[in-house]
Amino acid sequence: MTANLNIVPFVSVDHMMKLVLAIGVDQFLVDLADYIEEDFRRWELFDKTPRIASHSMDGVIELMPTSDGQLYGFKYVNGHPKNTREGLQTVTAFGVLADVGSGYPMLLSEMTILTALRTAATSAVAAKYLAPKDARCMAIIGNGAQSEFQAIAFKALLGVDRLRLYDIDAEASHRCAKNLAGFGFDIKICASAQEAVEGAEIITTVTADKRSATILTDNMVGWGVHINAVGGDCPGKTELHRDILLRSSIFVEYPPQTRIEGESQQLDADHPIIELWQVMTGKTAGRTNTRQITLFDSVGFAIEDFSALRYVRDQLQRTGLYGELDLLADPDEPRDLFGMLLRAEKAAVA
């Protein structure tokens, strides 16, 4: 990227928006899904660890590192549901990609927008393997910051073009519908979760409350649907009634994390769950019949962020949509950090 060892390319929020718009949201999601799928297919070679969380009364701050042996990536992300009441984002994030060989950072990027995109892309990749064939109608329960990204990802990857929206805040549903105007959806705003799931072949739940809620009860879920459960993603935060889980084939990213954070936290520790990467590589079956309820118990895993950072990194040279950060000390003589300081002093005096 640059010959200056001290410089790290930086993708700001402004650059990220320009990058997404230059590529097109739908194409960005399709391309990103390819990177995610590629990394899921080589799942076994990654260093994997559950995210490192620092919990407080109001929320959580997490670090999510992983490495494929060549590249190292991590994301900083917070989750503070109360933030929206103060005009702040529930989730903000940034991430870094680094070279394993030298340990030098290669990219610093905003990841608030990028996380929204990778979460939607991952959901759509999972649905590609799990949803009923030719599904076109999706319910989206919870119409906050993630909802439009989910809709566009499912349209771009699966051809879903009918949406049934529900949110306890009707204004959120109207905003979602308005934002999606021009993207070619047939949209119905519903008065209840019950109404939203009627006729839907895919049910996406993506609410933000930090508690054990029951967005879906067992009677609301018909045989054969695919549930894309995105909102339950930390201990004590779930969206589905446990009975739904007991009727479903459950697919997850990284079991040690999902069993703590996902809908699966409601299950016994030995309840069978299937790793999504094994479905993608053909090691395990995904959907096997039309009456099966498939459930993607999504919590978000570090490898998806790694894929997203890789994808962004690969767009930089072509688009020029990045800045340069003077983040790393680069003395003329690597062992002479103090001398660099002395020379800076002389340069300032001169």
Which residues 11-70 are close enough to bind a second copy by CB under 8 A? 12-14, 17-18, 20-21, 25, 47, 49, 52, 54, 56, 58-61, 63, 65, 67, 69
Find all residues with CB under 8 Å of 158, minimum gap 6, and list them.
124, 127, 128, 131, 135
Q: Which CB atom, from 217 or from 324, has the smaller least distance to a second copy?
A: 324
CA 48 to chain centre: 17
Structure tokens belonging to residue 115: 């996380």
Closest to a second copy by CB, 116 vs 252, is 116
Strand, helix or coil at 117?
helix
Q: Which is nearer to a second copy, 96 or 220 (CB)?
A: 96
What's the rounded Cα separation, in Å, for the pair 6 and 330?
Answer: 5
Distance CA 157, CA 26 (A): 9
Minimum CB separation of residue 283 from a second copy in Å reads: 26
Looking up tokens 């990284």 gives 254
Instruction: Determine which residue in the list 107, 160, 172, 203 makes contact with a second copy, applying CB under 8 A.
Output: 172
Residue closer to a second copy (CB basis): 84 or 317: 84
The residue among 24, 3, 11, 208 whose CA lies nearest residue 96 is 11
Residue 96 within binding range of a second copy, rule CB under 8 A: yes
DSSP code at position 42? T
Structure-block tokens of residue 163: 């949406």
- Answer yes or no whether residue 6 interacts with a second copy by CB under 8 A: yes
Cβ proximity to a second copy, 89 vs 217, nearer residue: 89
Of 179, 278, 281, 319, which one interacts with a second copy (CB under 8 A)? 179
**Which one from 233, 268, 270, 314 is the annotated catalytic residue?**
233
Subset of 187-206 contacting a second copy (CB under 8 A): none
* Residue of 27, 104, 236, 314 that binds a second copy (CB under 8 A): 104
Note every long-range contact of 177-181, with CB atoms under 8 Å and residues 24 or more positions apart, other chains counting: 179/148, 180/148, 180/151, 180/152
Closest CA to 276 of 96, 8, 103, 36: 36
Residues 239-268 close enough to bind a second copy by CB under 8 A: none
Contact with a second copy (CB under 8 A): which of 43, 94, 277, 322? 94
* Unique residue bearing structure tokens 């690597």: 334
Q: Which of 207/292 has CB closer to a second copy?
A: 207
Q: Is 209 a catalytic residue?
A: no
Q: Does 223 bind a second copy (CB under 8 A)?
A: no
> Judged by CB under 8 A, does residue 327 bind a second copy?
yes
The yes or no reply on residue 1 touching a second copy (CB under 8 A) is: no
Positions 119 through 158 that interact with a second copy (CB under 8 A): 144-149
Among 272, 141, 149, residue whose Cα is nearest residue 213? 141
Q: Which stretch binds a second copy (CB under 8 A): 88-96, 126-134, 245-253, 283-291?
A: 88-96
- Rg (Cα) of the chain, in Å, rounded? 21
- Three-state secondary structure call for residue 250: strand
Q: Alpha carbon 54 to chain centroid distance? A: 19
- In the chain, how long is the greatest CA-to-CA distance? 79
Q: In terms of DSSP bridges, do strands 52-55 and 105-110 run parallel, antiparallel, or are they unpaired?
A: unpaired
What SS3 class is residue 123? helix
Binding segment for a second copy (CB under 8 A), chosen from 102-110, 188-196, 230-238, 248-256, is 102-110
**For a second copy, how many residues bind (rule: CB under 8 A)?**
81
- Smallest separation, CB 261 to a second copy (Å): 16
Just list the catalytic residues: 233
